[in-house]
């Protein structure tokens, strides 16, 4: 094994399509650029500060909830199970 390696001619992951695909699949997220109103950003940043989360996380949650692709929280799932058990 060498003490030093020369990576000056190496390609970046984003320049190798199959590596980019693998990297995005591994994270489950894709980096995009989107234009949002300043007021929207301000609102989410304030909420994020109060809740101790990142504002991008809150935006992602809001988009999931409004797109119909959100996953159930443990609390919601427990509520549904309790209601179903009561009705039997």
Q: Where are the alpha helices (DSSP H) in the chain?
A: 17-27, 38-51, 55-67, 74-86
Q: What is the pLDDT of residue 34?
A: 93
Q: What is the pLDDT of residue 10?
A: 83
Reported pTM: 0.52
Confidence check: pLDDT of 72 > 80: no
Confidence check: pLDDT of 69 > 70: no
* Burial (CB count within 10 angstroms: exposed 0-12, middle 13-18, buried 19+), residue 45: middle
More confident residue, 52 or 68: 52
């Amino acid at each position: 094994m060498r003490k030093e390696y020369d990576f000056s001619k190496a390609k970046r992951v984003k320049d190798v399509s199959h590596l980019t695909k693998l990297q995005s699949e591994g994270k489950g997220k894709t980096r995009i650029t989107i234009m949002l109103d300043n007021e929207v950003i301000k609102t989410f940043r304030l909420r994020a500060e109060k809740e101790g989360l990142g504002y991008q996380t809150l935006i992602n949650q809001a988009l999931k909830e409004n797109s119909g692709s959100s996953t159930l929280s443990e609390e919601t799932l427990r509520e549904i199970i309790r209601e179903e058990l009561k009705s039997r």
